[in-house]
Every structure is written in structure tokens, then in C-alpha cells.
């Protein structure tokens, strides 16, 4: 099959914290379905991971673990390009060029910078501020047509489009203008103990279900999940956030509609419902956990996947970077 004729997709997750049920439902599960229609590039976004203080040994360990989990979730490395961002220097090189075509006012409007800066007031570094430029480089270096993102990341795709449009306006048709790809269901899974907040990889409490959690831990977390006092399993995203979040999880794991779920648990207590959701999640995540653990025992195989992904990604990225360098006037003999 000729991959070049397919529209191209690029996405990635930082290897910080542990991948969660939210990561799987909101991102990776949807990525798995895209291969038939798209040429898919999925990175481990380690360059983005260093905007916060980190332990280098932990970053290396989690990068390999995350690759194993990508594959265990169903991302076939023979069908998708799986690669580590820092292994392709063109990302950082293009980011510098694009920073010269990005307006301060655009960066000042980035809500995620304001949020992250408030959480690390002792480390408000330039990388945290210019993060969206690197993200734009990640996307544009592969001429991606679509970018699967959570709804909270749409702003980053918008600034990417603005930067690409500005560059194209000066130098001609250089970059593909990407579109965000946001799944309609399960795009944002919320914390089990704070349904107002997104389930986070960095959360220390029991609100995040991790892909590598044991069945016992998963059931314990769902048992303690926040609900409400109404005792009615009914989807109402505005007034019943906790129950609606659990219904979304159950729907994704079982394939049942919200109406079917409401009928299934009509007249039953929240305890029964939370137990059922926990069991559905265990059934979904246990095979992933077991396969990831198996893959991590075969480091040679994972290193081979990294090498192949680096080669393919570097080829595409290098072509784009060469074109950009020529357009901006960098001398090449």
C-alpha cells in the first residue's frame, strides 16, 4: 500500500508521569483506529518533558516504558512510525526558525503557559513560554494534515496554523496547514476524585487510573470515585459530572450507549455501577499491562523499533527542513 497517498497524522505524549486511562481513551485508543486511512507518526515527546525540573534517569526509563505501552495498546510499529522526538534534531532546528515568525502577542495569549507558570513559579523558563513553537515545529516538520489532540490542546493547533500561514504567506507553499482531530466521545476523561479536572499523568492521588495499575488498585480507585447524592445513573455533563465521567469510561470500555447504560443501571445504586465500571476497565487494561511488561523484557526489540522510527521520521523531517532552510536563505554549497 502506498503510504504517501494517505493524509498524514502526527501526535505524541510526553514521557512524564505514567500513562493513564485518560491517555488511552482520549488519545491512544483513537490512534490505533487511524492507520487504515492515514499515515501515522506518533512520538514520545521528550523535548517537551524538560520544561519542568526532572530526574534524567526517570525520563529515560519512562520513555522506554511509554514506547512499550504504545505498542501494547495496539500501535503496530510495522504500520505506524513510532519515534522519540529528541532523536530527530530537525524538531529543535525548525523550532528556532519558526520562533522568528511567531509573534509575542500570540505566545502571550497561550492559556496553558499561564496555567503551568502558576504551578511552577520558581521555574518560569523560556522553554515553557515557547513550548507552542516547538509543538508547531513537531507538526509542520512532518507536513501533517491532522493532529489528534484533546480539546484543551486546540489552541496550540491554532497557533501552529497561524505560524504556518504566516510563513507560507512570505515564502510560498512550504507547510501543510494542519487541522485538529478531536474524537467526539471520550476526548477528555476526568479525575475520579475531582471530575472538574482532567485525569492527569502527574496526579499523585487516586483520581488517575494508570495503564500499569493492577486490577486490585483499579477496583479500589473506582470504589472511591466521586459521584453525587442523587443515586441515579443518568448522563448530565453539567449537573452530574462524576457520574457522567464514569458513564463515558464505561461506554468506551463496553461499547454501550449512554441510553443503554442508564437502562442497565436503572434503580441500582452507585456502588453497583462503580463496581461494574471498575471491572470493565480491568478487562480493558489488564491485557495492555501484561503485554507492556512482556515487551520491556525485550530491550533489543524496543531499540530496534526506535532505530527504525528514527530513520523514517528523520527522512521526512529532513526533507522539510531542507526546504525551509532554502526558503529563508541559508547557504548550502
Q: Which of 14, 29, 198, 274 is catalytic?
A: 198
Expressed in percent and rounded to 5, the helix, strand and coil fractions of the chain are 55, 10, 35
b (16+ CB within 10 A) / e for 117-132: eeeeeeeeeeebbbbb
> Can you give the length of the chain in residues?
333
Q: Which of 79, 114, 119, 201 is catalytic?
A: 201
Q: Helix 126-140 to helix 90-99 angle, to the nearest 10 degrees?
A: 110
User: Which residues lie below 8 Å from residue 90, measured CB to CB, with a gap of 6+?
Assistant: 141, 314, 317, 318, 320, 321
**What's the rounded Cα separation, in Å, for the pair 122 and 30?**
37
Q: What φ, ψ does residue 148 adopt, rounded to 5°?
A: -70, 115
Q: Do residues 113 and 119 lie in contact, with contact meaning Cβ atoms separated by under 8 Å? A: no
Separation in Å, CA 166 to CA 159, 160, 270:
10, 10, 53
Q: Do residues 221 and 209 lie in contact, with contact meaning Cβ atoms separated by under 8 Å? A: yes
* 328 grid coordinates: 529563508
Catalytic residue status for 275: no
Q: Which of 116, 241, 323, 327 is catalytic?
A: 116
b (16+ CB within 10 A) / e for 31-70: bbebbeebbbbbbbbbbbbebbeeeeeebeebbbbbbbbb
Catalytic residue status for 79: no
* 114 grid coordinates: 499561564
* 304 grid coordinates: 530496534
Residue that the C-alpha cell 478487562 belongs to: 283
Any idea which residues carry the catalytic annotation? 116, 198, 201
Amino acid at each position: 500500500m502506498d503510504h504517501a497517498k494517505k493524509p498524514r497524522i502526527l501526535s505524541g505524549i510526553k514521557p512524564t508521569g505514567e500513562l493513564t486511562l485518560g491517555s488511552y481513551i482520549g488519545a491512544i485508543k483513537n490512534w490505533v483506529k487511524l492507520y487504515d486511512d492515514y499515515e501515522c507518526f506518533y512520538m514520545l515527546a521528550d523535548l517537551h518533558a524538560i520544561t519542568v525540573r526532572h530526574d534524567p534517569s526517570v525520563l529515560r526509563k519512562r520513555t522506554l516504558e511509554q514506547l512499550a505501552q504504545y505498542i501494547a495498546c495496539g500501535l503496530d510499529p510495522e504500520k505506524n512510525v513510532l519515534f522519540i522526538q529528541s532523536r530527530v534534531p530537525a524538531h529543535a532546528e525548525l523550532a528556532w526558525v519558526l520562533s522568528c515568525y511567531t509573534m509575542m502577542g500570540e505566545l502571550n495569549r497561550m492559556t496553558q503557559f499561564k496555567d503551568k507558570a502558576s504551578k511552577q513559579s520558581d521555574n518560569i523558563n523560556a522553554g515553557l513560554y515557547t513550548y507552542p513553537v516547538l509543538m508547531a515545529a513537531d507538526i509542520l516538520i512532518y507536513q501533517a494534515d491532522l493532529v489528534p489532540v484533546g480539546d484543551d490542546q486546540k489552541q496550540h493547533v491554532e497557533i501552529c496554523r497561524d505560524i504556518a500561514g504566516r510563513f507560507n504567506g512570505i515564502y510560498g507553499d512550504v507547510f501543510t496547514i494542519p487541522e485538529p482531530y478531536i474524537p467526539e466521545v471520550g476526548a477528555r476523561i476526568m479525575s475520579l476524585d475531582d471530575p472538574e479536572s482532567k485525569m492527569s499523568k502527574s496526579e499523585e492521588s487516586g483520581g488517575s487510573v494508570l495503564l500499569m495499575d493492577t486490577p486490585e488498585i483499579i477496583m479500589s480507585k473506582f470504589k472511591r470515585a466521586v459521584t453525587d447524592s442523587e443515586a441515579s445513573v443518568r448522563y448530565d455533563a453539567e449537573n452530574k459530572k462524576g457520574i457522567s465521567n464514569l458513564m463515558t469510561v464505561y461506554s468506551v470500555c463496553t461499547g454501550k450507549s449512554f441510553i443503554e447504560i442508564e437502562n442497565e443501571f436503572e434503580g441500582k445504586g452507585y456502588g453497583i455501577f462503580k463496581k461494574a465500571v471498575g471491572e470493565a476497565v480491568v478487562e480493558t487494561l489488564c491485557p495492555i499491562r501484561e503485554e507492556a511488561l512482556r515487551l520491556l523484557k525485550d530491550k533489543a526489540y524496543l531499540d530496534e523499533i526506535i532505530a527504525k522510527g528514527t530513520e523514517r521520521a528523520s527522512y521526512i523531517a529532513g526533507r522539510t527542513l531542507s526546504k525551509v532552510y532554502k526558503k529563508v536563505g541559508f547557504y548550502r554549497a
